[in-house]
Amino acid sequence: MPGERHPPRRVVVVTGPESCGKSTLAHDLAADRGGIWVAEVARDYLTGAPSTGYTPQDLLHIAQRQYAAETCAHPADGLTILDTDALVLELWWRERFGAPPPTFLDLLDRWLAQRPRYYLLCQPDLPWERDPLREHSAERERLYDWHERRLQGLADAAAMPAQALYGVVSGRGPARLDCARGLLAAWERG
């Protein structure tokens, strides 16, 4: 309706290395805040496939499906909580296949420009949990550092303070959710 005001769409991305509680935190935050949770497409796509059996084409399909899932989310209160986004898929591609091709990079650029987002970067301070889709049990600190450098680079490129783009989540159990709640509240206050 003309003149009707809608709350701005807000996108929160829970990111970080494998086995750092991203899915649980994203789901719990969405439930806590009444937002829409967009699950990680890769889990359904690759379930049943050996972790070494996917190809670059599979990863491109995963990225396209994740992008579509995010694009189609229409929460009533304007809050979307993502279990993953372009940055995780970029790191995954680089770790597995080297430099991404232009088609993949173009998708990532469109994705990151889609709307403002705030990242909750999960520290790998939870115990590693075995999962057939996980590949880097000994690399979590290195992968965490890559995520943080990449987020800092995005903040620098946008000429914004890093805390306006991301916050670091730590702790176990309820303390982890409380940490994320606090970061999210500070971001929303702006």
- The structure tokens 């929460």 sit at 75
Q: Which residue has the higher pLDDT, 12 or 160?
A: 12
- The structure tokens 């992008």 sit at 67
Model confidence over 15-66: pLDDT tens digits? 998 888 899 999 999 999 888 899 888 888 888 665 557 889 988 999 999 9
Residues 139 and 18: their CA atoms lie apart, in Å, by: 9
The answer on pLDDT for 115 being more than 80 is: no
- The structure tokens 């769409």 sit at 9
Q: What is the pTM of this model?
A: 0.85
Residue 109 CB coordination number (10 Å): 11
Q: What is the DSSP letter of 15?
A: E
